[in-house]
Amino acid sequence: MNINRRQAIKLTSATVIGGGISLFSLQSAFASGQWLTPPGGLTRYVIFDIQTGEDDLRGGSSISAFIGLGSINTEWLSDANGNSLNKGASWGNWTRNRGLLDLGSWRRVGDIQELSLSFLTGLGGPFDGPDNWNLQTLFMHCMVDFFGAPPDPNSVDLNTAPLLFKGEGNPFIRFKAYENSSFLTQR
């Protein structure tokens, strides 16, 4: 799905507000991370290898990825199938999880210039409050010149998928339902 920066902000706001949670601010969280030199070639599938921290990602909450292509007139892409990285599943404390972002068409790896993660809190039950989540590590890989069907991200040998971005911390990003709903980093 192709979207521009303004649409991405509106989509994040509409999704969060449409989910019944009103945010006091929609500020982005900025954390240090490292962009690595991209390989040549084309990619359609981006794999995220994520470790949760002391605070889990509750079922019903979602984490969505947006990739920015180009550096002047940024073209934002989200998952072509509308999937979040966790597909609504719970990710327990201190677990390592993978998610797949299907860009919908093959793109030059070197054009990937920005990454944005958007957190949408879910409510587990009538006595649960909004979810918060600690993201400890974030590794973004791409499958270069792989022209097959979308892979199961858990079956991909990440040694064969070049690393484009890595971030680590304690936590690297703290997503709060009422404060930081997104993370943005640029090459």
13-22, 26-35, 118-127: range with lowest mean pLDDT: 13-22
Count of domains observed in the chain:
1
Averaged confidence pLDDT in the chain:
83
pLDDT of residue 184: 87
pLDDT of residue 24: 29
User: Containing domain of residue 38, as a range?
Assistant: 2-186
Pairing of strands 34-35, 28-29: unpaired
pLDDT of residue 163: 98
pLDDT of residue 7: 47
pLDDT of residue 127: 62
Q: Is 15 helix (H, G, I), strand (E, B) or coil?
A: helix
Q: Is 152 exposed, middle or buried (0-12, 13-18, 19+ CB in 10 A)?
A: exposed
Q: Is 158 helix (H, G, I), strand (E, B) or coil?
A: helix
Pairing of strands 75-77, 96-108: unpaired
For residue range 156-182, list pLDDT tens digits in order. 999 999 999 999 999 999 998 876 578
pLDDT of residue 167: 95
For residue range 37-66, list pLDDT tens digits in order. 999 999 999 999 999 999 999 888 999 999
Q: What pTM was estimated for this model as a whole?
A: 0.82
Instruction: Tell whether the model's pLDDT for residue 83 goes beyond 80.
Output: yes
- For the chain, the distance separating the N- and C-terminal CA atoms, rounded to the nearest angstrom, is 22
At residue 78 the predicted structure's pLDDT band, cuts being 50, 70 and 90, is very high
What CATH number did the domain enclosing 76 receive? 2.60.60.20
Instruction: Tell whether the model's pLDDT for residue 92 goes beyond 70.
Output: yes
